[in-house]
């Protein structure tokens, strides 16, 4: 799914109005109906609705939603700043429709003090939409601050008021903190970054049938990795195949006290379907790896830490988890990279060793995949002020070194050498545990060995990682799930994906 800027979304609305054709107020009604149906379906145990409307088109959405919810039997109260203010044309049309409906009235913000917000009251935020390009003014800032202080469920229409669609916010900005955001047609970029996404809550994308022709023709470098993307990437396993059909993985990982990282990466590679898996690790990990991963072969790379890397042109390498940063290990890694020219996966301590000297980065084979978390990224490429700047820097570095960067975050991003950014939207905070990154290394390396392109291996890899994590959280909870639970849940993720793909064949 494409991520469009607020300006492109505005143009998409106008193109739809002109070419469908549909009037702007009819399109507003379509959006309001989509929101109303979602609220009616998911909020059945709630009776009271308080809708806070601005004077622009987002407020018009809110006024239409209030009317439609009232028709479905909800008790609805509407609040706006000033009834004498100038409303947008479509908002004014919806305001006029309310006047003839018994039991519906529009009150000023100050009247909310007399309104009884019981625990079942849902607050709907329709104050400002994507057109807002400045901080909230004082009257609205006061209302939003008061609404944020309440324990009621808050649902934002299209975007939380005060939140820009395309970028970050000032530290002291006042933004409506939503529990749910009902967004029209598209993810907004601000939903996907930690500084801003925390205000959106759970994002629900509602299809309001904007012009597919416009969307297809509009250029962007920002995308969401949704199910349709994954289903187009995934290659079902052939019946008439053998282990040679699915590649050879060589995981170079582990050191004394960190053999667990090698175990996790190896198990993940095996569970992701590699035809043949080898683990290069120091001798101190031999018994552990052979006992815990009997399906993988062991290659000794040293005694307590790795001092040499076996060179196998037929293998796809995943290097780094728990490797350590001993000088001998670093020297051996650089020697290996000078010789090895095929794309590989680099993570964890491999990245930390590369960060020691900028010239080492030139040794990374073109189109390789590196998987840094934010601190590792900072060591490699420098400090940034926020996650938006980090993605911009990652774009430049991916192009400069001709590599793919998997930038781990709540919504992990794949940044390609051509400047495209793909945001993952599954997964959960249960992955915020040591070992989760080791699993991702094994998954992506396995997919790369199976013949997926670097970009597709990275995208499918982070999707599988996140989907398996969602299954693990469902079974164990986010707090108690372990990285090994995520590995075990990969089978369920593949089972689900195979069923979806086979239905379409």
Check if the beta carbon of residue 182 is closer than 8 Å to that of residue 156.
yes
- CATH class given for the domain over 231-504: alpha beta
Q: What does the pLDDT look like over 240-280, one tens digit per residue?
A: 999 999 999 999 999 999 999 999 999 999 999 999 999 99
Q: What does the pLDDT look like over 380-427, one tens digit per residue?
A: 999 999 999 999 999 999 999 999 999 999 999 999 999 999 999 999
pLDDT score recorded for residue 354: 98
pLDDT band of 132, cuts 50, 70, 90? confident
Q: What does the pLDDT look like over 183-236, one tens digit per residue?
A: 999 999 999 999 999 999 999 999 999 999 999 999 999 999 999 999 999 999
User: Residue 21's closest CA among 29, 33, 9, 13?
Assistant: 13
Question: Per CATH, the architecture of 6-220 is what?
Answer: 3-Layer(aba) Sandwich (3.40)
* CB-CB neighbours of 120 under 10 Å: 14
pLDDT score recorded for residue 169: 93
Per-residue pLDDT for 119 more than 90?
no
All CATH 3.40.1190.20 domain ranges in the chain, comma separated: 231-504
pLDDT score recorded for residue 103: 86
Distance CA 302, CA 331 (A): 13
Residue 2 corresponds to which tokens in the numbers above? 């494409």
* CB-CB neighbours of 34 under 10 Å: 20
Residue 85 corresponds to which tokens in the numbers above? 């203010």
Q: What is the pTM of this model?
A: 0.95
Tokens 């949704």, residue? 226
Mean pLDDT of all residues belonging to the chain:
96
* CB-CB neighbours of 400 under 10 Å: 12
Q: What does the pLDDT look like over 2-44, one tens digit per residue?
A: 999 999 999 999 999 999 999 999 999 999 999 999 999 999 8
Q: What is the mean pLDDT of residues 415-441?
A: 97
All CATH 3.40.50.10260 domain ranges in the chain, comma separated: 6-220
> Dihedrals φ, ψ of 193, to 5°?
-115, 145
pLDDT score recorded for residue 112: 76
Radius of gyration of the chain, Cα coordinates, nearest whole angstrom? 26
Per-residue pLDDT for 505 more than 60?
no
pLDDT score recorded for residue 504: 61
Distance CA 266, CA 270 (A): 6
Q: What does the pLDDT look like over 460-504, one tens digit per residue?
A: 999 999 999 999 999 999 999 999 999 999 999 999 999 998 866
Residue 53 corresponds to which tokens in the numbers above? 């409307």
Q: What does the pLDDT look like over 172-185, one tens digit per residue?
A: 999 999 999 999 99
- Cα dist. 128→54, 80, 138, 305, 459 in Å? 6, 12, 14, 57, 34
Per-residue pLDDT for 443 more than 70?
yes
pLDDT score recorded for residue 134: 85
Tokens 């076996």, residue? 310
Q: What does the pLDDT look like over 444-462, one tens digit per residue?
A: 999 999 999 999 999 999 9
Q: Measure the CA dihedral 81/25/48/115, to 10°.
A: 10
Per-residue pLDDT for 116 more than 90?
no
Q: What does the pLDDT look like over 364-376, one tens digit per residue?
A: 999 999 999 999 9
Q: What does the pLDDT look like over 43-71, one tens digit per residue?
A: 988 999 999 999 999 999 999 999 999 99
Distance CA 414, CA 401 (A): 15
């Amino acid at each position: 799914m494409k991520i469009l800027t607020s300006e492109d979304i505005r143009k998409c609305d106008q193109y739809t109005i002109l070419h469908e054709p549909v009037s702007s107020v009819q399109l507003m009604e379509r959006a309001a109906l989509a929101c109303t149906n979602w609220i009616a379906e998911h909020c059945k145990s709630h009776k009271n609705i308080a809708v806070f409307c601005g004077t622009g088109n987002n407020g018009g959405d809110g006024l239409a939603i209030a009317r439609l919810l009232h028709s479905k039997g909800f008790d609805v109260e509407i609040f706006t700043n000033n009834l004498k203010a100038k409303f947008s044309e479509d908002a004014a049309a919806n305001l006029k429709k309310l006047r003839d409906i018994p039991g519906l009235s529009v009150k000023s913000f100050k009247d909310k003090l007399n309104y009884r917000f019981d625990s079942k009251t849902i607050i709907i935020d329709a104050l400002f939409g994507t057109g807002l390009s400045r901080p909230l003014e004082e009257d609205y800032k006061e209302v939003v601050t008061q609404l944020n202080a309440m324990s009621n469920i808050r649902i934002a229409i299209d975007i939380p008021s005060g939140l820009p669609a395309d970028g970050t916010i000032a530290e002291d900005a006042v933004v409506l903190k939503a529990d749910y955001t009902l967004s029209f047609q598209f993810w907004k970029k601000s939903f996907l970054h930690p500084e801003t996404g925390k205000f959106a809550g759970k994002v629900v994308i509602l299809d309001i049938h904007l012009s597919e022709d416009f969307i297809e023709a509009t250029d962007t470098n920002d995308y969401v990795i949704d199910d349709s993307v994954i289903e187009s990437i995934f290659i079902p396993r052939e019946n008439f195949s053998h282990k040679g059909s699915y590649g050879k993985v060589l995981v170079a990982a582990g050191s004394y006290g960190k053999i667990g990282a090698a175990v996790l990466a190896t198990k993940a590679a095996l569970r992701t379907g590699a035809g043949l898996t080898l683990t290069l690790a120091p001798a101190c990990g031999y018994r552990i790896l052979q006992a815990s991963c009997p399906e993988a072969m062991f290659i000794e790379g040293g005694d307590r830490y790795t001092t040499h890397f076996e060179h196998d042109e037929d293998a796809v390498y995943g290097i780094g988890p728990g490797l350590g940063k001993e000088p001998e290990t670093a020297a051996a890694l650089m020697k290996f990279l000078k010789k090895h020219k095929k794309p590989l996966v680099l993570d964890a301590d491999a990245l930390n060793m590369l960060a020691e000297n900028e010239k080492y980065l030139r040794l990374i084979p073109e189109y390789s995949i590196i998987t840094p978390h934010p601190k590792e990224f900072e060591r490699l490429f420098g400090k940034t002020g926020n996650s938006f700047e980090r993605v911009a820097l990652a774009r430049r570095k991916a192009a400069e070194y001709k590599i793919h960067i998997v930038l781990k975050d709540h919504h992990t991003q794949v940044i390609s050498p051509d400047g495209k950014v793909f945001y993952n939207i599954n997964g959960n905070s249960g992955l915020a545990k040591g070992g989760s990154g080791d699993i991702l290394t094994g998954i992506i390396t396995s997919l790369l060995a199976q013949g997926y392109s670097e970009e597709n291996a990275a995208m499918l890899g982070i999707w599988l990682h996140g989907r398996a994590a969602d299954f693990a959280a469902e079974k164990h909870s986010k707090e108690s799930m372990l990285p090994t639970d995520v590995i075990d849940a990969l089978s369920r993720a593949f089972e689900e994906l195979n069923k979806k793909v086979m239905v379409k064949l």
